[in-house]
Amino acid sequence: MEFIESRAFTRRLHQLAGENADAVLRLMQEELSAQPDRGSVVPGLSGIRKARAANPGRGKGKRGGFRYLYLYLEIRRHIHLLYLLDKNEQEDASEEQRRQMREWAAEIKREAGN
């Protein structure tokens, strides 16, 4: 499985997880490698999925931790990590974030030949 991070995802990961960023990313990758379709498909986002991750910096489990949005391209075995949200700040992506992710998904699929 190959993981590809958007700049927005990486920036938010380091902003939100701080010194725990590598550990949070590693756990996400392990869970997605074991079950790439684990997240729920978000309606209206071109196949983008939303899943939960724990926030070890605040002692928060998955329910009170992070939400991340990703696109899984099964044929290519690629997982594109697109955006990360902190549940305490924002439960769901804003309309502007949703628009941006739809654009990213279309571009990623076009480049992959899907």
pLDDT of residue 112: 80
> Which CATH number, 3.40.50.300, 3.30.2310.20, 3.90.1150.10, 3.10.350.10, labels domain 2-112?
3.30.2310.20
pLDDT of residue 101: 87
pLDDT above 90 (res 79): yes
pLDDT above 80 (res 57): no
Counting other chains too, the contacts that 90-94 makes at CB distance below 8 Å and 24 or more residues apart are: 91/67, 92/67, 93/42, 93/69
Q: How far is CA 94 from CA 42, 83, 90, 97, 107, in A?
A: 13, 11, 9, 5, 20
Q: pTM of the predicted model, to two decimals?
A: 0.88
pLDDT of residue 114: 64
Give the mean model confidence (pLDDT) for residues 23-46.
Answer: 93
